[in-house]
Amino acid sequence: MAIEFDGLKEKTLVLVKPDAIQRGLIGKIVDRFETKGLKLVGVKMMALDEALLREHYAHLADKPFFTSLAKFMQGSPVIAMCWEGLEVVNAVRLLCGITKAREAEAGSIRGDYAMSVSCNVVHASDNVGNAKREVSRFFKEDELHDYAKSEYNHVYAEDER
């Protein structure tokens, strides 16, 4: 069965990056998404091997900083999470803030917890097409869970559910 991405089942990939693991920020970062009302449907700790990293950051392969980015991302395992919700890809990007963390909006995760362009604590898929590719790249179908969340009765209005 294919992974569902429509309506309330839209999904996005979030990585808690090695800088956040080292700085003990896992709980604080997860809290932002949970408190927002998103549903966690997949989570695991994993090391990024060379092949996965190259695929994930293919759009940056020609950049001068690619080698240091790869080293940074392989400095420790990451936490990979799949979050679900209505228009969740966009909502999660807004929660994360812009790439250059020291200019990210206060209140966003990067705005509150980071200062660097590269060590910016989280990755989030940047559009629905990439979210589909990234969720499938990091999670097998049986690692994603479909369950009812009672909170949804209050997180979303009736016409949004």
Sequence-distant (6+) residues with CB within 8 A of 58 are: none
Q: Which is nearer to ligand IDP, 8 or 69 (CB)?
A: 69
The yes or no reply on residue 65 touching ligand IDP (CB under 6 A) is yes
The yes or no reply on residue 69 touching ligand IDP (CB under 6 A) is yes
Beta partners for residue 40, in sequence order: 83
Taking the C-alpha atoms of residue 79 and residue 20, their distance in angstroms, rounded to an integer, is 10
Question: Known catalytic residue: 145?
Answer: no
Using CB under 6 A, pick the residue from 43, 117, 144, 155 that binds ligand IDP: 117
Tokens of 59: 């759009």
Which residues inside 124-143 make contact with ligand IDP, applying CB under 6 A?
Answer: 126
Q: Which is nearer to ligand IDP, 43 or 69 (CB)?
A: 69
Residues that bind ligand IDP (CB under 6 A): 60, 65, 69, 99, 117-118, 120, 123, 126
Residues that bind Mg ion (CB under 5 A): 126
